[in-house]
């Protein structure tokens, strides 16, 4: 793949964030036990309205009311998985976009099977680290707990394959963050090195990305239908080019 | 209703807070997954001793030992609901005051029915936003997830009705916070505007209020018995009058 | 017991912490609902890699992969207890050290019986406050919720008895923190007084200690086998002697 530098306009980003702020999207969050408060704060900070509704008795009703649904399987167990499946089905029936964060997929079979089965319900977006995206795409992703043992760059082909097979926008977070649709892949290398020793560096920024991404997905069109598209561009933003 | 300005004495508040600090009340907290750490910190900050005990196997024992019980239904599900019901029954048997925070009641049926059923067990205090209080009192509260679509002012009549029917002290949080017993309603407009864009503005301040309120309820007498009282005063504190 | 002052070398501590940082131990955390995010951050801060894996379907696999397992029973309930038991069994089979934090043991029967039963599976380390350690050792520990009603100093004999009967390193936290193996007990009085009014003072520092302790246990040898050892030294570090 060839890499072409593009300039990223902060005005464009500001406009998109303003859309989120203006619409205050209601985000149905089904996430892991560790980051619930942080994800709620992140969504509030970008102007969304998060709500953690978890009972199988009410997730379907709430996913239909919501503007977006976040599914993060970090601390998955059977009752919560059943709630997630009900929320996804209801979101799809209502045309609500939903985002999948496949935490530690590849490292553990129970969650790997659960996440792969969710792909058939076509998430609007998927966010994972290198190991998770490779494993979700069917490869051997490795992974050490919730940490990646594969670079994000090494997961770009898997991300593109996953985008084509599911129709989702796929984001791979790492030293460089990659975001791909069916026709474009963009790399963002703006993450500061100091974050490498920051608390929650492995966990929270990722949740952060998927939490805020859920609000953002509200306004995004779904990826185009499967099958016909080709990769036409492989773009990458390098810090020194911005 | 006529509104009469009253002066609020900070010395009086300081004295009441000092009572909490001196007694270090043991607060049994059954709250939602998002705010557990924040609620624990808030209770510690005011001098209480919080403990999150959740198993159906031990909630009854602990509610009987505790000085107050907080029930927040934000992330309700059947096992936790059963634990809450057991804690409430034990609290009532032991004469322990308990506080109800009816998160998102009105927006979702499962929790609305659960919260309404709890009213028969006579909470010492209820804290909700406008939509939640209106819905809990039997009206159409609206609500968008955990956010209110009704002003706190519009829920004052519902709060008074709820106070009369349950005997509870009822607080409605919003731009103005209202606190009502059977005979008095006080409005507090001291919340700073900057909080409107603060993280956790929708979620944590409310939990904060009910968490600290639980510790405070320890020292408060129960509301007088139902039926005979009339509203005799509708008081409101405005910021410029303090 | 006689008390002998020893000098504690910060260089020695730095070397041990550097070992943690270099090895980035994978820590399987099964902890309470209140402190999950704080414990994750603490482990990240010392250079470990925490992962909260909770499903009975995958805890055994993950405990075998992990370098250490933390069991904290603060918000115990039957499904989570079963997951903890499966993780402990798998950790022992794989030779993975595991740490027990017996929150509120003594105050409530369900958790007291659960924690005592875990002792037969020989934790590598145990961390509790005075009341918890006394109760875990079979005495009447008292305790008020998650708070101790016994000083850490009053629990030293119980800590030594527990160390002898289980082979674990036992830490008692309080005004003075005591750490005992089968042959040595060290007291650390470095905790600053200002922490007494800090938020989470009762809860988080304790979790902090056990979380970081789990990472640290990775590099420690197991305590020597039971039965033959005698206490030969009772050492205590006082702040003015450092």
pLDDT > 70: percent of chain B: 74
Tell me which chain B residue has its CA closest to the CA of residue A62.
B108
| Mean of all residue pLDDT scores within chain C | 81
What's the CA gap between A219 and C158, in Å, rounded?
61
Is A2 a member of any domain? no
Confidence of residue B88 (pLDDT cuts 50, 70, 90): very high
Q: Which CB contacts under 8 angstroms, 24+ apart, belong to A163-167?
A: A163/A223, A164/A226, A164/A227, A164/A229, A165/A119, A165/A137, A165/A226, A166/A119, A166/A122, A166/A123, A166/A126, A167/A122, A167/A222, A167/A223, A167/A224, A167/A225, A167/A226
Give which of B37, B72, B204, B214 to mutate to test C binding, by max C Cβ within 10 Å. B37
CA distance A53 to chain B (A): 6
A 10 A CB-CB count for A47 gives 18
Segments of chain A scoring below 50 in pLDDT: 1, 191-208, 219-242
| Residues of C with Cβ-Cβ distance to A106 under 8 angstroms | none
CA atoms within 13 A on the CB side of B78: 6
Cβ B49–C75 below 8 Å, yes or no? no
- Give the Å distances, CA to CA, from A127 to A80, A88, A132: 20, 16, 9
Is C134 a member of any domain? yes
- pLDDT score recorded for residue B186: 79
What's the CA gap between A240 and A124, in Å, rounded?
31
Confidence of residue C190 (pLDDT cuts 50, 70, 90): low
Q: Which of C139, C130, C225, C134 is nearest to C178 (CA)?
A: C130
- pLDDT score recorded for residue A77: 98
CATH number at residue A118: 3.40.1190.20
- pLDDT score recorded for residue B218: 55
A 10 A CB-CB count for B219 gives 15
Cβ–Cβ under 8 Å, residues C206 and C186: no
Is A3 a member of any domain? no
Q: Which domain holds residue B64?
A: 10-241
Q: What number is the average pLDDT over the span B117-135?
A: 97
- pLDDT score recorded for residue A147: 86
| Residues of C with Cβ-Cβ distance to B69 under 8 angstroms | none
- pLDDT score recorded for residue A242: 28
Is A79 a member of any domain? yes
Cβ C35–B37 below 8 Å, yes or no? yes
Chain B residues within 8 Å of chain C (Cβ atoms)? 26, 28, 33, 36-37, 40-41, 44-45, 49-58, 61-62, 65-66, 79, 83
Reported as a single tens digit per residue, the pLDDT across C138-150 is 998 788 888 888 9
Biggest alpha carbon distance in chain C?
51
- pLDDT score recorded for residue B241: 31
Percent helix / strand / coil, chain A, rounded to 5: 40, 20, 40
Cβ–Cβ under 8 Å, residues A62 and A87: yes
The set of chains that have 3 or more CB pairs under 8 A with C is A, B
Is B3 a member of any domain? no
Q: What number is the average pLDDT over the span B48-55?
A: 96
- pLDDT score recorded for residue A176: 85
Is B219 a member of any domain? yes
What's the CA gap between A210 and A220, in Å, rounded?
14
| Residues of A with Cβ-Cβ distance to C56 under 8 angstroms | 77
Cβ–Cβ under 8 Å, residues B32 and B72: yes
- pLDDT score recorded for residue B22: 94
- pLDDT score recorded for residue C239: 31
Q: Is the pLDDT of residue B116 over 50?
A: yes
Q: Is the pLDDT of residue C47 over 50?
A: yes
Q: Which of A57, A76, A156 is nearest to A117 (CA)?
A: A76
Q: What number is the average pLDDT over the span C6-19?
A: 79
| Mean of all residue pLDDT scores within chain B | 81
Reported as a single tens digit per residue, the pLDDT across C62-107 is 999 999 999 999 999 999 999 999 999 999 999 999 999 999 999 8
N residues, chain B: 242
Tell me which chain A residue has its CA closest to the CA of residue C53.
A75
pLDDT higher for C218 or B111? Answer: B111
- pLDDT score recorded for residue C217: 56
Q: Is the pLDDT of residue B146 over 90?
A: no
| Residues of B with Cβ-Cβ distance to C202 under 8 angstroms | 44, 49
Cβ A37–B32 below 8 Å, yes or no? no
Q: Is the pLDDT of residue C219 over 60?
A: no
Which member of B76, B111, B200 has the closest CB to residue A40? B200
- pLDDT score recorded for residue C21: 93
Cβ C145–B37 below 8 Å, yes or no? no
Q: Is the pLDDT of residue B208 over 60?
A: no
- The ipTM is 0.83
CA distance A234 to chain C (A): 33
Q: Total domain count for chain C?
A: 1
pLDDT higher for C12 or B23? Answer: B23
CA distance C79 to chain B (A): 10
Q: Is the pLDDT of residue B235 over 50?
A: no
Chain A residues within 8 Å of chain B (Cβ atoms)? 26, 28, 33, 36-37, 40-41, 44-45, 49-58, 61-62, 65-66, 79, 83
Lowest mean pLDDT among A227-231, B151-155, B198-202: A227-231
| Residues of C with Cβ-Cβ distance to A203 under 8 angstroms | 40, 44, 50
Cβ B55–C78 below 8 Å, yes or no? yes
Is A118 a member of any domain? yes
Cβ C50–A78 below 8 Å, yes or no? no
Q: What number is the average pLDDT over the span B184-210?
A: 51
| Residues of A with Cβ-Cβ distance to C61 under 8 angstroms | 108-109
Is B175 a member of any domain? yes
Cβ–Cβ under 8 Å, residues A88 and A79: no
- Within chain A, residue ranges assigned H as helices are 10-23, 36-45, 59-65, 78-94, 109-119, 130-136, 156-166, 204-217
């Amino acid at each position: 793949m060839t890499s072409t530098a593009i300039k990223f306009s902060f005005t464009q980003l500001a406009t998109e964030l303003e859309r989120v702020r203006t619409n205050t999207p209601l985000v149905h969050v089904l996430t892991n036990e560790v980051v619930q408060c942080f994800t709620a704060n992140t969504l509030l900070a970008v102007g969304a309205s998060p709500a953690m509704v978890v009972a199988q008795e009410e997730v379907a009703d709430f996913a239909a009311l919501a503007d977006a649904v976040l599914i993060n399987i970090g601390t998955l167990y059977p009752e919560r998985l059943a709630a997630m499946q009900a929320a996804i089905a209801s979101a799809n029936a209502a045309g609500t976009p939903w985002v999948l964060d496949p935490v530690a997929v590849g490292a553990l079979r129970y969650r790997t099977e659960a996440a792969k089965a969710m792909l058939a319900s076509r998430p609007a977006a998927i966010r994972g680290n290198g190991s998770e995206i490779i494993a979700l795409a069917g490869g051997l992703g490795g992974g050490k707990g919730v940490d990646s043992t594969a670079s994000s760059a090494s997961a770009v082909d898997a991300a593109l394959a996953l985008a084509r097979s599911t129709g989702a926008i796929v984001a791979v977070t790492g030293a460089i963050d990659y975001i791909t649709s069916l026709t474009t892949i963009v790399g963002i290398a703006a993450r500061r090195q100091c974050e490498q020793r920051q608390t929650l560096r492995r966990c929270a920024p990722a949740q952060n990305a998927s939490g805020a991404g859920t609000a953002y997905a509200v306004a995004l069109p779904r990826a185009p239908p499967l099958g016909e598209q080709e990769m036409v561009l492989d773009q990458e933003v390098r810090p020194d080019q911005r």
